[in-house]
């Protein structure tokens, strides 16, 4: 889903940058107010985690594989704005280190995955948790739903941008991308749920959005 | 130097938030220049005790470093005096280059840049990794990383070195090199370790912990030869 | 992967290289697709740059492969593109030929620009060790929080990747063959374990930083020195070459 250089027309690429810059400015401003000192290294390591997790391919069917996106996972763990910061760092690093995703398309790529996938998915997650019973099951189901939709929505945003740039015909690509990612999204949902349940079992205190039974801390509280 | 002990711990208790007691009334005095080995089975409280030396954990009881009582007001002063080297150098070294990591402490002390640079050079020289300045920690061997981790607190001119398992995961030669290095420092050292040979070679005193209590305290030769004692406390 | 020190270009200031790369990239991407001579000239300049800097073509080839799926996806839809413009017919009349030509132009456009983009980025990161690249970005006044985050991420990326690979190997050693969608939970549990290890490492890193006097703000780095004459010559030359090619050639 990483758009390379040259696939987007100048207005679309510029709009991607503008939208991303606005969201990031907000995230930095907010996090500057609330970012506790201990969160800086945690955000850094989580960024590395999302990066590493995206390297693990998961099987879709008979040899074809998709890779994990993790936008909803990051938002549920860290909150939507910190999740945004993490995604911006991941995508920038992928672009600068591995030339994965074009530099001129970086704004659009961040918009698709970090904003549409992450913030959009998170909003859906909040909506679902409000409607569903406040239990572990409801929590995980909401995460599954949100992460499935986040993948489909990211892919659709990607298709729309490519079509606006005149690179592909929208009428055909939108359903095609949507269909393929509806399948990949199942993998995303399954992985998000499995990941969250492992974390909820061991360290519920680190799941930012978990409002369930109060956790038993495993590490000493630190003071400074 | 006066008679003030480098470190004075009185009746220190610590419980983890889930209620498990980790330290059960530790009282310990360390004179300047002593090299104290802290030994004990897994879970005896060695690392927990170390984390109290610079206020990362705070239990009930008092900790004094060169006479000043550890508290909110003295925290940064004491953290500059007690250099903590963690067991896993990958936790300690977090900057893109070794050089920046070694400069991290002095810069937090708000030293002028020229002095920071001087201290970085000296610290890296001392531990013998001067040529690795611009390297990323990822490209270093474990032995080199352990040395670099040591340099990050030497550059702060720490008076007390608190080391957690300094020889773990080192090959025999790396281990010997590190022991020689530590032997050359005149500073007070407090070393939590399972490596009894290291204690025998390096330390002037041994403290044996079990279940958060000090069960023995004495010179290494007599204490480490008391096999019945060691066996009884899980070593 | 890792940036290795190469003989000729690493001596240059990373700031000069970053600005040159970004400017060249923008000029390349904004070039109209029909200006074949210009693209040929870009190509020649890049071949020369690769030869001078000693960056291996194999690295480039590997990265170009990664762009291929997206390219194929777009290529698959080329026959359907612009069919409105020729009245919806797929006949082999003149209209049909015209259709395929405009489609091919779109394909050529994305193929050449994506390749040039990958080549430029590869050139930069293969000649500049990442820490220097970060310092360059910082000196160019990129936001500090971002630089900090990138630095942390790069530092622990390889540590975590190795942990991920060890876990995968341990699973493979016990006969795990992920082939179907319902094997995905296994991958999920691995990712969960990976997160916990990463998170707890983050906590320990924080403790190690706090032990050295960290209290939220990162110590300020030194003020950047001015660009050396050699860097100015390189930057000026690179900008001039790409500008001339972009504007003057047909």
> pLDDT tens digits, residue range A12-33?
999 999 999 999 988 877 766 5
- C-alpha neighbours within 13 Å on the C-beta side of residue C4: 8
Count of CB atoms situated within 10 Å of the CB of A19: 16
Count of CB atoms situated within 10 Å of the CB of C84: 8
- Report DSSP letters for A169-181, one per residue: -HHHHHHHHHHHH
DSSP B70: P
Can you tell me the distance from the alpha carbon of A197 to that of A199, in angstroms, rounded to the nearest whole number? 5
List pLDDT tens digits, range C113-130: 999 999 999 999 999 888
Using pLDDT thresholds of 50, 70 and 90, give the confidence band for residue C80.
Answer: low
pLDDT of residue C23: 95
Same domain for C128 and C33:
yes
Is C231 within the bounds of a domain? yes
Partner C contacted by A41 (CB < 8 A) = yes
Partner B contacted by C155 (CB < 8 A) = yes
Best probe of the B interface among C213, C221, C225, by most B CBs < 10 A, is: C213
Answer for the pair A177, A156: CB distance below 8 angstroms, yes or no.
yes
Answer for the pair A93, C157: CB distance below 8 angstroms, yes or no.
yes
pLDDT of residue C73: 79
Is A122 within the bounds of a domain? yes
Q: What tokens does A152 get?
A: 């489909």
Is C71 within the bounds of a domain? yes
Contact A97 C154 (CB under 8 A): yes
Low-confidence ranges of chain B (pLDDT < 70): 1-3
pLDDT at position A212 over 70: no
pLDDT of residue C7: 42
Strand B60-65 versus strand B7-15 pairing type? antiparallel
Best probe of the B interface among A47, A215, A220, by most B CBs < 10 A, is: A220
Contact C81 A169 (CB under 8 A): yes
pLDDT at position C6 over 50: no
Which of these, B193, B141, B137, B140, lies nearest to B162 by C-alpha position? B193
Virtual torsion, Cα B215, B217, B218, B223, nearest 10 deg:
30
Looking at chain B, list the stretches that DSSP marks H as alpha helix, in order from N- to C-terminal side. Answer: 46-52, 75-81, 89-92, 98-108, 113-126, 142-154, 172-184, 196-202, 220-224, 227-232
Residue A131, min C-alpha distance to chain C (Å): 26
Is C3 within the bounds of a domain? no
pLDDT of residue C94: 45
Of all residues in chain A, the percent with pLDDT exceeding 70 is 84
Least confident of A68-82, C38-52, C71-85, C180-194: C71-85
Best probe of the A interface among C184, C204, C210, C246, by most A CBs < 10 A, is: C184
- Report DSSP letters for B39-67, one per residue: E-STTSSHHHHHHHTTTSS--EEEEEETT
Distance of CA A188 to CAs A118, A147, C65, Å? 13, 6, 24
Closest partner CB to B94 (pick from C130, C158, C205) = C205
Using pLDDT thresholds of 50, 70 and 90, give the confidence band for residue C5.
Answer: very low
Contact C201 B156 (CB under 8 A): no
Contact A198 C154 (CB under 8 A): no
Same domain for C183 and C59:
no
Same domain for C164 and C61:
no
Same domain for C37 and C121:
yes
Residue C208: exposure state from Cβ atoms within 10 A (0-12, 13-18, ≥19): buried
> Locate tokens 């906590």: which residue?
C203
Is C34 within the bounds of a domain? yes
pLDDT at position A1 over 80: no
Same domain for C132 and C14:
yes
C contact residues 208-237, partner A, Cβ 8 Å cutoff: 209-210, 214-216
Partner A contacted by B57 (CB < 8 A) = yes
List pLDDT tens digits, range A115-154: 999 999 999 999 999 998 888 889 999 999 999 999 999 9
Q: Under an 8 Å CB criterion, which residues of B touch C?
A: 51, 54, 56, 76, 79-80, 82-84, 86, 88, 90-97, 100, 103-105, 107-110, 113, 134, 136-139, 152-153, 156
In chain A, the number of structural domains is 1
Is C216 within the bounds of a domain? no
Contact C222 B113 (CB under 8 A): yes
Q: Among all residues of chain A, which has the CA nearest to that of C162?
A: A52
- Report DSSP letters for chain C, one per residue: -PPPP-SSSTTS-HHHHHHHHHHHHHHHHTS-TT-HHHHHHHHHHHHHHHHHHT--HHHHHHHHHHHHHHHHHHHHTGGGTTGGGGTT---SSHHHHHHHHHHHHHHHHHHHHHHHHHHHHHHHHHHS-HHHHHHHHHHTT--HHHHHHHHHHHHHHHHHHHHHHHHHHHHHHTT----BGGGHHHHHHHHHHHHHHHHHHHHHHHHHHHHTT-BSBPPPPPPPPPPPHHHHHHHHHHHHHHHHHHHH--
pLDDT of residue C100: 61
Least confident of A106-110, B87-91, C40-44, C174-178: C174-178
Can you tell me the distance from the alpha carbon of C202 to that of C197, in angstroms, rounded to the nearest whole number? 9
For the CA atoms of chain A, what is the radius of gyration? 18
Residue C231, min C-alpha distance to chain B (Å): 21
ipTM computed for the complex: 0.83
What average pLDDT score do residues C143-154 get? 82
Can you tell me the distance from the alpha carbon of B40 to that of B233, in angstroms, rounded to the nearest whole number? 7
Same domain for C195 and C83:
no
Can you tell me the distance from the alpha carbon of C207 to that of C218, in angstroms, rounded to the nearest whole number? 15
pLDDT at position C220 over 80: no
> Locate tokens 């991290």: which residue?
B104
Answer for the pair A191, A37: CB distance below 8 angstroms, yes or no.
no
Which of these, A47, A110, A189, lies nearest to C161 by C-alpha position? A47
> Locate tokens 């790529």: which residue?
A109
Can you tell me the distance from the alpha carbon of C74 to that of C34, in angstroms, rounded to the nearest whole number? 19
Is A203 within the bounds of a domain? yes
Give strand pairing partners of B29. Answer: B8
Partner A contacted by B94 (CB < 8 A) = yes
Residue B97, min C-alpha distance to chain C (Å): 7
- Strands in A106-191 per DSSP E: none
Can you give the CATH number for the domain in which A178 is found?
A: 1.10.1760.20
Instruction: Compute φ and ψ for C134, nearest 5 degrees.
Output: -60, -45
Contacts of A103 in chain C (CB under 8 A): 22, 25, 117, 121
Contact A56 C155 (CB under 8 A): no
Same domain for C198 and C88:
no
Is A223 within the bounds of a domain? no
List pLDDT tens digits, range A31-40: 665 555 556 7
Which of these, C138, C143, C197, C139, lies nearest to C166 by C-alpha position? C197
Can you tell me the distance from the alpha carbon of A208 to that of A139, in angstroms, rounded to the nearest whole number? 12
Using pLDDT thresholds of 50, 70 and 90, give the confidence band for residue C82.
Answer: low
Is A59 within the bounds of a domain? yes
Question: Which DSSP helix (H) or strand (E) runs through A72?
Answer: helix A71-78
Which of these, B100, B121, B151, A80, lies nearest to C151 by C-alpha position? B100
> Which domain range does residue C200 map to?
143-211
Question: Which DSSP helix (H) or strand (E) runs through B35?
Answer: strand B35-39
pLDDT at position A217 over 80: no
Is C4 within the bounds of a domain? no
Is A222 within the bounds of a domain? no
Contact A7 C110 (CB under 8 A): yes
Is A178 within the bounds of a domain? yes
Contact B18 A218 (CB under 8 A): yes
Is C221 within the bounds of a domain? no
Same domain for C19 and C120:
yes
Same domain for C117 and C147:
no
Which of these, C138, C140, C162, lies nearest to C150 by C-alpha position? C138
Q: What tokens does A143 get?
A: 């995460």
The chain-wide mean pLDDT, for chain C, equals 79
Can you tell me the distance from the alpha carbon of A118 to that of A84, in angstroms, rounded to the nearest whole number? 7
Answer for the pair B129, B144: CB distance below 8 angstroms, yes or no.
yes
Q: What tokens does B69 get?
A: 């009582």
Which of these, A35, B150, B86, lies nearest to C204 by C-alpha position? B86
Same domain for C71 and C103:
yes
pLDDT at position A223 over 60: no
Give strand pairing partners of A57. Answer: A67
Answer for the pair C74, A167: CB distance below 8 angstroms, yes or no.
yes
Residue C156, min C-alpha distance to chain A (Å): 6
Contact B17 A220 (CB under 8 A): yes
Using pLDDT thresholds of 50, 70 and 90, give the confidence band for residue C24.
Answer: very high
Question: Which DSSP helix (H) or strand (E) runs through A6?
Answer: none
Distance of CA A71 to CAs B9, B76, B146, B220, C66, Å? 48, 38, 36, 55, 21
Same domain for C241 and C183:
no
Using pLDDT thresholds of 50, 70 and 90, give the confidence band for residue A180.
Answer: confident
Contact C214 B104 (CB under 8 A): yes
Q: Among all residues of chain B, which has the CA nearest to that of C131?
A: B96
Count of CB atoms situated within 10 Å of the CB of B107: 21
In chain C, the number of structural domains is 2
Contacts of A223 in chain B (CB under 8 A): 55-58
Can you tell me the distance from the alpha carbon of C104 to that of C81, in angstroms, rounded to the nearest whole number? 10
Contacts of A202 in chain B (CB under 8 A): none
pLDDT at position A100 over 70: yes
Contact C196 A198 (CB under 8 A): yes
pLDDT of residue B138: 79
DSSP B165: S
Contact B86 C208 (CB under 8 A): yes
Partner B contacted by C210 (CB < 8 A) = yes
Answer for the pair A224, B79: CB distance below 8 angstroms, yes or no.
no
User: Which residue did the predictor score with more confidence, A93 or A215?
Assistant: A93
> Which domain range does residue A89 map to?
10-209
User: Which residue did the predictor score with more confidence, C76 or B171?
Assistant: B171
Is A1 within the bounds of a domain? no
Residue B111, min C-alpha distance to chain C (Å): 10
């Amino acid at each position: 889903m990483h758009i390379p250089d040259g696939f987007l027309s100048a207005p679309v690429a510029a709009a991607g940058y503008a939208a991303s810059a606005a969201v990031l400015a907000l995230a930095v401003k907010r996090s500057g107010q609330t970012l506790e000192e201990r969160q800086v290294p945690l955000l850094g390591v989580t960024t590395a985690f999302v990066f590493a997790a995206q390297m693990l391919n998961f099987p879709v069917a008979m040899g074809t594989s998709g890779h994990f996106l993790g936008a909803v996972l990051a938002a549920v763990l860290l909150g939507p704005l910190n999740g945004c910061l993490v995604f911006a760092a991941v995508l920038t690093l992928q672009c600068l280190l591995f030339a994965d995703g074009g530099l001129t398309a970086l704004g659009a790529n961040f918009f698709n995955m970090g904003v549409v996938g992450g913030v959009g998915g998170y909003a859906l997650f909040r909506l679902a948790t409000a409607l569903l019973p406040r239990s572990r099951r409801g929590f995980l189901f909401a995460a599954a739903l949100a992460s499935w939709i986040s993948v489909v929505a990211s892919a659709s945003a990607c298709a729309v941008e490519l079509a606006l740039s005149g690179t592909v015909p929208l009428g055909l690509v939108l359903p095609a991308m949507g269909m393929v990612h509806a399948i990949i999204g199942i993998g995303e949902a399954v992985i998000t749920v499995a990941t969250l349940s492992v974390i909820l079992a061991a360290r519920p205190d680190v799941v930012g959005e978990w409002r369930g039974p109060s956790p038993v801390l495993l590490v000493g509280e630190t003071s400074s | 130097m006066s008679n003030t002990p480098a470190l004075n711990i009185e009746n220190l208790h610590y419980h983890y938030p889930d209620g498990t007691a980790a330290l059960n009334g530790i009282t310990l005095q360390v004179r300047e220049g002593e090299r104290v080995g802290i030994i004990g089975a897994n879970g005896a409280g060695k690392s927990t005790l170390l984390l109290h030396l610079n206020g990362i954990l705070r239990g009930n009881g008092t900790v004094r470093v060169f006479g000043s009582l550890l508290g909110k007001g003295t925290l940064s002063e004491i953290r500059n005096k007690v250099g903590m080297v963690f067991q896993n150098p990958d936790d300690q070294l977090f900057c893109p280059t070794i050089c920046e990591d070694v400069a991290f402490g002095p810069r937090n002390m708000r030293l002028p840049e020229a002095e920071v640079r001087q201290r970085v050079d000296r610290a890296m020289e001392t531990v013998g990794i001067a040529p690795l300045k611009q390297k990323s920690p990822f490209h270093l061997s474990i032995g080199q990383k352990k040395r670099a981790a040591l340099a990050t607190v030497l550059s702060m001119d720490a008076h007390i070195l608190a080391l957690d398992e300094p020889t773990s995961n080192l090959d025999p030669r790396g281990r010997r090199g590190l022991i020689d290095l530590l032997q050359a420092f005149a500073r007070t050292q407090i070393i939590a370790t399972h490596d009894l040979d290291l204690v025998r070679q390096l330390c002037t005193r041994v403290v044996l912990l079990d279940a958060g209590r000090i069960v023995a305290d004495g010179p290494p030769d007599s204490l480490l030869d008391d096999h019945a004692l060691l066996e009884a406390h899980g070593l | 992967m890792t940036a290795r020190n190469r003989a000729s270009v690493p001596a240059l200031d990373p700031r000069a290289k970053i600005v040159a790369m970004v400017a060249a990239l923008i000029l390349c991407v904004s070039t109209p697709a029909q200006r074949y001579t210009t693209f040929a000239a870009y190509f020649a300049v890049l071949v020369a740059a690769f030869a001078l800097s000693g960056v291996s073509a194999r690295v480039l080839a590997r990265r170009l492969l990664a762009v291929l799926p997206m390219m194929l996806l777009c290529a698959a839809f080329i026959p359907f593109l612009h069919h409105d413009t020729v009245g919806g017919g797929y006949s082999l009349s003149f209209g049909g030929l015209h259709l395929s030509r405009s489609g091919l132009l779109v394909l050529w456009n994305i193929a050449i620009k994506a390749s040039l983009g990958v080549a430029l980025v590869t050139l930069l990161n293969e000649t500049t060790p990442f820490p220097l690249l970060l310092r360059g970005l910082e000196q160019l006044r990129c936001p500090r929080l971002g630089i900090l985050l990138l630095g942390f991420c790069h530092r622990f990326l390889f540590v975590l990747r190795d942990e991920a690979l060890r876990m995968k190997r341990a699973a493979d050693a016990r006969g795990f063959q992920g082939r179907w969608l319902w094997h995905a939970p296994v991958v999920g549990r691995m990712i969960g374990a990976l997160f916990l290890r990463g998170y707890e490492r983050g906590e320990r890193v924080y403790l190690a930083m706090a032990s050295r006097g960290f209290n939220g703000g990162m110590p300020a780095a030194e003020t950047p020195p001015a660009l050396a004459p050699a860097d100015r010559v390189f930057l000026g030359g690179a900008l001039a070459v790409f500008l001339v090619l972009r504007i003057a050639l047909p």
